[in-house]
Every structure is written in structure tokens, then in C-alpha cells.
Amino acid sequence: MLLRKTTWFWKNGLAAISFVLILGISGCSDAPPEENTVAETVIDFDAIPEESQEDAEEIINICTDLYEKAAEENKLADLETIGGIVNRLGENGYSAVDSKNQIDMTEPEQVVQFCEKVDAQEKAEITVLEVSYLGGFVKYDLRTKDGEVDVARSYYKYENGSMKREVTGNYQAEYWNYTEEGYLMFSGVWFSEELYVLTLSGAEEHTALRVQPLDETYRELSRKYLRPIGFEKNNMFIVDWSEDDFGDLNFYDMYDILYPKVNGQYVPCVADDNLSVSAVYQIPKEEFESIIMKYFNIDSETLQSKTVYCSEDSTYEYKPRGFEEVEYPEYPYSEVVGFTENSDGTITLTANVVFPYAGDSRVYAHEVVVRPSEDGGVQYVSNRMIPSEDNYRETWHTPRLTLEEWEELYGGE
């Protein structure tokens, strides 16, 4: 890539350093200043029961051969492998699902009955297995009484020819919900001796398990058209736009996401290591447009109006996301729940946005129109938010700086 880089200094650079120091000293807390004091945390690990091993060995024996075969073929993360493990566990009577909710849960009736017991404030217990794409699974032992749910979670990892328990922890679910969309969502802060030794604290867990089955065609459409874009550092699925009016769609964010899909590597235009410096690149017209126009039906004039274009040397100005544009790394995902094949060759996808971190299986719904090509590619035609009083604010997203904001931070005196 031929490009030019310049740097601009943050005239309030000390503010960034001060901000980092403040975070390091005080931490992140919503408590009022007078309550934001340091308290000693005492965890009695003897009071936390050890996770029962009576059926753990049985579970391991059920699927060990599948892990061995997948490891030999370097396919531990393949969807087919995960599906085989989930279904094998189901054949042996276990409620199991994959960690990305791409495979129908086995024995879902057991989970539904357990949720009914929770609502009725009766005693019950169940084991639910979540198969990971990292070569292992999480075993949730759930027990309920008087409407409260206790969670014992253990992570098992396949490594060097054997399955071993890596971490175990316990907590009482602070949030528990079996949603209308068919998800079991629960969360809490769990403690383990291994974790506490390292961090002197617990770890937040936000679990979302799809209990009800979903049409495999819907999942394929999600994997092919929606999940490759996702919600990290872009607003493609959180604003209304179309080929007739691209609205507030940010094409710099789209460039960041689409560049690796075209070139097989990340954008080489990186942010400066110095927090008080903003790197500014000039990307040749044909290089920038070739990325965007592969996925959008947009002409040069329109794209230039949505970006900063330098006609003198036919380049697009590009500024990498910086310190003030970082996001909290918890994101939702879109799940197709319906589609229509249109007469013009496009497909309209209706999708729910699932946000495990918020315990919400329908943050909002949106319609995405895509135009598949014969070579397996796709152009994105539009996105429309479906209005609802229950729509959740997109708290995960941090927009790129506007020109005015960038000038205020990095511009001249």
C-alpha cells in the first residue's frame, strides 16, 4: 500500500495521562465519592463447596474420542466438531449447547422444566454443558430453592491428549431470566481460589444459552451476512441507512472491518504509540474505494462526501481510532429470525440483537437487505431499525471523533 502518514499532537495531552492515572488509582466505580473507599474482601474458600465430580468423568468419557480425533485433524474449533460433541452429549441425556449458540440445545425440555421450578420457588437441580470453540466445555451445575439459583461452574480443557478441569467457581445468580425468544440468561460474580490468588476479586459472568431450537437456514444467513460485520467499532447495524441515503454510516469503520476480508490482514494504518499524537494517513483513491465498493453499491462522489477526500493528490484522509475512541469489549450479536427473497435478487433479513452482557435476547430488531453475488460475495443494501418502546440503547458503541472533536483535541492553538 502506498500511503503517507503525518502526526498531530494532542494539545491537551496531559489530560490523557491524568485520566489513565485516575483510572489506575480509583478504579471504575459508580459509587458516590464519599462511598468510594477501599474495603478488604475476605473470601472463605472452605465455605465454597467443591464441584461434584460424580458425573464429570462420565461426561469426559462420552466425548473424549471426539476431542482426540478433532485434535489430530486440527479441527477443535470447527462447527462440525462442536456439533458432534453437543449431539453426543445429548444422546447420553445431557442438556448441551455450544458457546456461540449455533447448534440446537439437546434435551431442552430439562432446562425449561428447571426454569419452571425456579418460578414456582421449588427445589430442583440440573447440569447444563456449554461446549467451547477453544477445545473444552463449561459444566454448569444449577440448583434452585425458594426462587434463588446457585451456580457451580467448572471449565474443562482438552490439552495434550486429556481433558482436565482448569477452573471451578461458585456464585448465586444475581440475574436470571428465561426469555420470550427462548434464551436462558443469567449472570453473577463467581469466585475461585485460582482466580482470587491472581486478582483478589471475582469475575463477572454473563451467560446466554439458546434453549429453543432455531431454523438452521437462519443460522447460516447470520453466519454468512451478519456476524462477519458484527457490532465491534462500527455503526452499520445501529443506524438507518440505504443505497439511496447512507445517512450516518461510518465508512472509516467499515474500511477497518472490510480491509482484512479483502487483503487477509489488518489495516496497516495504525494509531501512534504516543497517546498525545494522532496519526493521519493519506490512502490512494483506488485502494480505499476498492475496499468499500466491493461491499457497497456507492459511487466515488457519494463516498467522498461521506469522508475527507483530498482532490489535489486523489487520496482519502484516514485517522485510526485512538485512545478516546476505545470501546468496552462486550458486544451483542445479530440472530436472523426470518427472511424474504426479493424479486430483484436481494434478501431481506429480519434479526434480533442478542446482548448477553445486558441479559437481553432482544435488545432491538432490525432489517438488513443484502445482495448476494454469483461468486459468493455480498453487497450490503440497507439497514433499518424496527421501532419499539423496548429498544435498548447501544451502550457498547463509541463513535469515531467528528472533525470538530478531532480539531479540538489535536488541532492547532
pLDDT tens-place string over residues 22-65: 344 333 333 333 333 333 334 343 433 444 566 889 999 999 99
- Position 7 scores a pLDDT of 61
> 101-138: per-residue pLDDT in tens?
999 999 999 999 999 999 999 999 999 999 999 999 99
pLDDT band (50, 70, 90) for residue 203: confident
pTM of the shown model: 0.86
**Cα(332)–Cα(189) distance, rounded to whole angstroms?**
20
More confident residue, 299 or 13: 299
**Cα(278)–Cα(410) distance, rounded to whole angstroms?**
7
- Position 30 scores a pLDDT of 37
Q: Which of 23-32, 241-250, 384-393 is predicted with the least confidence, judged by mean pLDDT?
A: 23-32
- Position 25 scores a pLDDT of 36
**Residues in CB range of 282: below 8 A, 6 or more apart:** 3, 4, 5, 310, 313, 315, 316, 317, 318
> Has residue 374 got a pLDDT over 70?
yes
Side chain identity at residue 380, one-letter code: Y
The grid coordinates of residue 247 equal 445517512
- Position 139 scores a pLDDT of 97
Mean pLDDT of the chain: 87
- Position 39 scores a pLDDT of 36
**Cα(392)–Cα(399) distance, rounded to whole angstroms?**
17
**Residues in CB range of 97: below 8 A, 6 or more apart:** 86, 103, 104, 105, 106, 128, 129, 130, 131, 209, 210, 211
> 134-158: per-residue pLDDT in tens?
999 999 999 999 999 999 999 999 9
More confident residue, 194 or 244: 244
Percent with pLDDT over 90 in the chain: 74
The answer to whether 325 and 398 are in contact (CB under 8 A) is yes
Give which of 216, 214, 217, 210 is closest to 108, Cα–Cα: 210
- Torsion 229-98-329-157 (CA) sign: negative
**Cα(355)–Cα(338) distance, rounded to whole angstroms?**
19
- Position 53 scores a pLDDT of 61
**Cα(365)–Cα(367) distance, rounded to whole angstroms?**
7
The grid coordinates of residue 2 equal 502506498
pLDDT band (50, 70, 90) for residue 100: very high
**Cα(85)–Cα(271) distance, rounded to whole angstroms?**
42
